[in-house]
Amino acid sequence: MLFPPTLPSQLRQTRHLVVFTGAGVSQESGIPTFRDALTGLWAQFDAEQLATPEAFAADPELVWGWYEWRRGLVLRKEPNAAHRAIAELAQKVPRLTLITQNVDGLHERAGSRDPLSLHGSLHRPYCSTCGRRHRLPDGLPDLVEGGARLPPPECSACGGLVRPGVVWFGEALPGAAWEQAEAAVCECDLLFSVGTSSLVYPAAQLPHQAAQSGAQVVQINPASTSLDSVCAFNVRGSAAQVLPELVACAWPAV
């Protein structure tokens, strides 16, 4: 057992649990995290270099190709035991708010309803000129080994370039999701920070706000992060290992 023996009973007594997730929660589904080294065409770039409005303006084919590659990858992967344990937790505790920085849709596919998606979604592109939502063709996008540039589609309303539905560096987070996330962290009694490097703000401030409001913060991450000192416990393990075990210990099958 990687977590302290008191954690399951604390979880059982929690009234409002916030689960705050990052790319590490999808790592065991086979999706590289943002700070993993990239391969193929993408090896020349940091993920952060491809995730800006400036990058899209300078080279839309490169940026659209990168996001279509990621979308093709995540559609070929399945939610893992960590995503499923989080969906199960929502059935166990009186209230659970799931806040995610992930854009892969795996929480929803595991059965979590209405996660607060602070960084948008790979599956909801829209026009960069008029904002109209763009419907992606059914079926899987090709997954070219090593990646490929791809021209973005044109908006059916105004002819503008369609862009990925994700939040880029320098852009505001979706207002309603952010407001609900801030309210939840101020009200919760326990927050799990799972699989995030805690480097990207404003999202990374949420666990700090929870701690300042009196909640206990527990981090589940095999590596240490800048959040370590704020946490009541740092559980050094993988999300797909720790979360199901924690749920099973808190609510043992009869």
119: annotated active-site residue: yes
Catalytic residue among 83, 107, 119, 134: 119
**Piece of the chain touching ligand OAD by CB under 6 A; list 68-76, 90-98, 121-129, 216-224:** 216-224
Does 208 engage in binding with ligand OAD (CB under 6 A)? no
Name the closest residue to ligand OAD (Cβ): 24
Does 79 engage in binding with ligand OAD (CB under 6 A)? no
Pick from 48, 78, 142, 228 the residue near ligand OAD by CB under 6 A.
48
Does 29 engage in binding with ligand OAD (CB under 6 A)? no
Query: Which residues of 75-209 form beta strands (DSSP E)?
Result: 95-100, 116-117, 126-127, 162-163, 190-194
Closest CA to 142 of 73, 226, 64, 224: 73
Task: Output the CA angle 81-85-89, nearest 5 degrees.
Answer: 175
Q: How far apart are CA 125 and CA 127, in angstroms?
A: 7
Q: How many CB atoms lie within 10 A of CB 37?
A: 8
Pick from 16, 35, 77, 92 the residue near ligand OAD by CB under 6 A.
35
**Piece of the chain touching ligand OAD by CB under 6 A; list 7-15, 25-33, 37-45, 145-153:** 25-33
Please name the residue that has the structure tokens 């009200």. Answer: 187
Does 34 engage in binding with ligand OAD (CB under 6 A)? yes
Select 17 or 167, whichever has its Cβ closest to ligand OAD. 167
Does 119 engage in binding with ligand OAD (CB under 6 A)? yes
- Please provide residue 110's backbone torsions phi and psi, each rounded to the nearest 5 degrees: -85, -5
User: What single-letter DSSP state applies at residue 132?
Assistant: -
Closest CA to 14 of 192, 140, 166, 136: 192
Q: What are the catalytic residues?
A: 119
The contact set with ligand OAD (CB under 6 A) reads: 22-24, 27-28, 33-35, 47-48, 51, 101, 119, 166-167, 169, 195-197, 199-200, 220-223, 225, 238-239
